[in-house]
Homo-oligomer: A and B are copies of this chain.
Amino acid sequence: MPNLKVSVIGSGNWGSAIAKIVAENAAENSDIFESDVRMWVFEELVAGQKLTDIINSQHENVKYLPGIKLPSNVVAVPDLLAAVQDADLLVFNVPHQFLPRICSTLKGNVPSTVRAVSCIKGVEVNGDGITIIANYISNELGIYCGALSGANLAPEVAEEKYSETTIAYKVPDPTDVIDAKIIRTLFHRSYFHVNVVDDVAGVSLCGALKNIVALASGFVDGMEWGDNAKAAIIRRGLLEMTKFGREFFPESNASTFTEESCGVADVITSCSGGRNHKLGAALIKTRRPIFELEAELLKGQKAQGVTTAQEVYEFLDRRGKSREFPLFTAVHGIIFEGLDSYALPRILEEIEQKL
């Protein structure tokens, strides 16, 4: 009986939705998991009460996932080190920008035999290179870390509406108890279908690059170009994502992009709605500065795609590769260089001809 202890680090809407799933499965699979799942909560007061106390007594994250009952075996813990003590598996699910501080607290306090899955979408890009979030966690803590990404709008998952996800997990040591089957058992629900692959780079790139495509699909809707054009841009975007993966992460698989939930399905979802799509459409309709629009439309939240578009462009440009990624390059140009979005078909065509 392995009796694996699982801790979820993070308690936003996605963190809480994932804690709910993991706790449901831990309770139903007592031959594998310890029933209690600890969830690290950044402590705050809600109407004078500690959020952890509310979660542990009312079994609801009233602040970040209101209206959804959490299983009673989700145990909110305000102290990060207490939350991970003796854990066998860590599930990371915090906003991107909090990760460095969390890792520096955990560093030296997590044995190398611990395993992790990152639900934090994306990658860190700078001119010098690209860091996959899961690899950042691995490097900081000296533990193996896989990645979870898919067409997973958190509120729909929390309401148990049917969806699928992709988990990249490649068993790092053949003697590990935690294998792909156990990973699937921990995350798979009748309403949340899991496919486990071994392509951490591909799954992570999908989660970042799709936001550039979502901006482009927003441009198309802003120009009112219709369904054909939108499908064309999604298709082109998906192919550029695949090419980017194959070129800079040769260990990634094209099928992760074109066949998995984290690829084609998440691109479709992100191009139907969501922050980046909304911002892209507003940019074309208003022609106002992007950061002004972002602040106004998203009320303080960030549209990850704007940063990603800029970082990816700089990364490509330094390598003399920007012209090989015409859609990514055009999205950057439209946002930051006043490029006319109506020129998109011509730009794509000119570059097609030269390749």
Contact = CB atoms under 8 A, between A and B. Distances in A.
Contact of A229 (B162, B266, B346): B162
A238 interface: yes
A228 B193 contact: no
Interface string A225-264: 1111111101100110000000000000000001111001
Interface in A297-348: 344-346, 348
Contacts of A232: 151, 162-164, 193, 261, 265
Q: How many copies of the chain does the oligomer comprise? A: 2
A191 interface: yes
B228 A156 contact: yes
Contact of A193 (B190, B225, B261, B345): B345
Interface centre among A225, A230, A259, A345 (most CB of B within 10 A): A345
B190 A345 contact: yes
Contacts of A260: 235
Contact of A264 (B227, B238, B352): B238
A161 interface: yes
B190 A153 contact: no
Contacts of A348: 193
Interface in A256-279: 258-261, 264-266, 268-269, 272-273
A315 to B, nearest CB: 24
Contacts of A258: 258-259, 264
A135 interface: no
A273 B162 contact: no
Contact of A235 (B161, B191, B261): B261
B193 A156 contact: no
Given A235-B164, A264-B238, A228 B269 contact: yes
B163 A228 contact: yes
Given A238-B264, A258-B258, A265-B235, A272 B227 contact: yes
A44 interface: no
A265 to B, nearest CB: 4
12 contacts: A151-B228, A161-B228, A162-B225, A163-B232, A190-B345, A190-B346, A193-B345, A227-B273, A234-B264, A235-B260, A235-B261, A235-B264
Interface of A: 150-153, 156-157, 161-164, 190-191, 193, 225-232, 234-235, 238-239, 258-261, 264-266, 268-269, 272-273, 344-346, 348-349, 352
Given A151-B235, A231-B272, 18 more contacts: A156-B225, A156-B228, A156-B229, A162-B228, A162-B344, A163-B228, A163-B229, A163-B232, A164-B232, A193-B345, A193-B349, A227-B272, A231-B261, A231-B264, A232-B265, A234-B265, A235-B261, A235-B268
